Amino acid sequence: MENQDKPYKRRVRYKGKYPKKFKEKYKELNPDKYSDTISKVIEKGSTPAGMHIPIMVKEILNVLQIKPGQIGLDATLGYGGHTQEMLKCLEGKGHVYALDIDPIELPKTTKRLEEGFSKDNLTTMLMNFSDIDKVTKEQNKFNFILADLGVSSMQIDNPDRGFSFKKDGPLDLRMNPSSGVSASMRIMQLTKIEIESMLVQNADEPYAKQIAEAITSAKKKGIYIDKTLKLEKIISDALQFIPIASRKHDIKKSCQRTFQAIRIDVNKEFESIYNFLEKLPDVLTSGGRVAILSFHSGEDRLVKKSFKRFFKEGLYSEISSEIIRPTKEECFSNPRAKSTKMRWAIKV
Ligand SMILES: C[S@@+](CC[C@H](N)C(=O)[O-])C[C@H]1O[C@@H](n2cnc3c(N)ncnc32)[C@H](O)[C@@H]1O
């Protein structure tokens, strides 16, 4: 009788030893609590979830030659690893302006950096680097500029943002989710021919025709490609004709390239880089230095062309004669550095 009077209380559900959600899964997402876990993950050659390991720091600082009192720009703040190294070189004198278009990561990075550096030396701004001239309108020109193109590890690793086909998530792929259209919407807008040429132009995809065909036929059947794994399956099903020996490997590569191509498109990456490169000579002081890290041939082509043209026109006094690559040791300890290409230029 006594038991019947008691209100029924639901038993707390067992959460399981292995949490499935990204936010619960990785101790690294709580860096203050688990700093020892972070060190172990880095030692193993992986990037801890929610972090980004800065690439080619030594080489960049060597090119930029930052001195106390100077003013500089980090066009791609990300996790702030490079910004932090620039700030150290300033020794408390001078200023770094740091831009990013990611409204999710920018406040976190700003908070972390402001714990170690004074606001007198650092300003972070939610801004596209194609608008660098707007920063210099209010400030002096820059002695040094860095752009570390592409996406951050935090963006890739967070399935909610849809950058990776390794985990299911909304097919979004926007660095700023409140601007433009998501990847799934964009796919709905494009015709077969447009998808094919996007895959070729943005990622040199050898199976562009077959993938465009498969996406278009899925759309015709009324399938809304709104999830990362839905797109991955469409690509994988379309490429089953590849000989078994290389099928798994080739499909993975095609998925990588397809996601890269769509990401470049929805974020209008080439337009932003082009505008940034066009404005660069104007925002640098005389003798000002710029270093750019790129991660695929489309980006590097734009950088190379622009540096060469402005060198010929006499706006740059010196440019890197060839690509600078990360050391073998760096690629070993941080595999995400492998495809990095660095170029630099100096304003007359
Ligand atoms: C490779 S990460 C930079 C990592 C950073 N150097 C670090 O050490 O953590 C690239 C960053 O650039 C940002 N980004 C990409 N395109 C941009 C643009 N057009 N304007 C401003 N930021 C951009 C991305 O949101 C991302 O956070």
CA of 239 to the centre of ligand 1 (A): 32
Ligand 1 centroid to residue 240 C-alpha, Å: 35
Q: Please write the tens of the pLDDT for every residue from 192-228.
A: 999 999 999 999 999 999 999 999 999 999 999 999 9
By CB neighbour count within 10 A (0-12 exposed, 13-18 middle, 19+ buried), where does 312 fall?
A: exposed
- To 10 degrees, what angle do helices 192-203 and 244-266 make? 100
Residue whose CA is at the smallest distance from ligand 1 atom 4: 78
Residue with structure tokens 């992986």? 46
The full 3-state SS of 136-149, as one line of letters, equals HHHCCCEEEEEEEC
175 ligand 1 Cβ < 6 A: yes
Q: In which element (H, E) is residue 341 found? A: strand 341-347
**Which of 144, 139, 74 has the alpha carbon at shortest distance from 113?**
74
- At 179-197, the pLDDT tens digits run 999 999 999 999 999 999 9
Residue numbers in the chain where pLDDT is lower than 70: 1-47, 49, 138-139
CA of 137 to the centre of ligand 1 (A): 22
Ligand 1 close to Cβ of residue 150 (< 6 A): yes
Among 52, 61, 76, 158, name the best residue to mutate to test ligand 1's pocket (greatest count of ligand atoms within 8 A of Cβ).
76
Cα 334 to ligand 1 centre (Å): 18
* Torsion from C-alpha of 64, 79, 298, 328, nearest 10 degrees: 70
The number of CA neighbours under 13 Å toward the Cβ of 122 is 28
Check pocket membership of 320 for ligand 1, CB cut-off 6 A.
no
Q: Is the CB of 76 under 6 A from ligand 1?
A: yes
- Residue 66: C-alpha distances to residues 40, 48, 89, 253, 280 (Å): 32, 29, 6, 39, 18
Write down the mean pLDDT value for the chain.
91
- According to the model, what pLDDT value does residue 248 have? 97
* Ligand 1: centre distance to CA 166 (Å): 22
Asked, colleague to colleague, whether 57-153+270-347 and 177-266 share their fold, the answer is: no
| For ligand 1, atom 15: residue with the closest CA | 150
DSSP-derived 3-state class of residue 343: strand
Beta-carbon contacts of 312 under 8 Å, excluding residues fewer than 6 positions away, are none
Q: Are strands 316-319 and 122-126 parallel, antiparallel or unpaired?
A: unpaired
Residue closest via CA to ligand 1's atom 18 equals: 128
Pocket lining: 101 vs ligand 1, CB cutoff 6 Å: yes
Q: State the pLDDT at residue 41.
A: 66
Q: How far is the CA of 344 from the centre of ligand 1 (A)?
A: 18
Looking from the CA of residue 272, the nearest atom of ligand 1 is 19
Classify domain 177-266 by CATH architecture. Answer: Orthogonal Bundle (1.10)
- Which tokens hold the place of 344? 């630099």
Question: CA 138 to CA 125: how far, in whole Å?
Answer: 13
Which pLDDT score is estimated for 136?
80
CA of 294 to the centre of ligand 1 (A): 11
Q: Where are the domains of the chain?
A: 2-43, 57-153+270-347, 177-266
CATH number for the domain running over 57-153+270-347: 3.40.50.150
Nearest-atom index, ligand 1, CA of 78? 27
Q: Cβ(54) to ligand 1 under 6 A?
A: yes
pTM for the model? 0.87
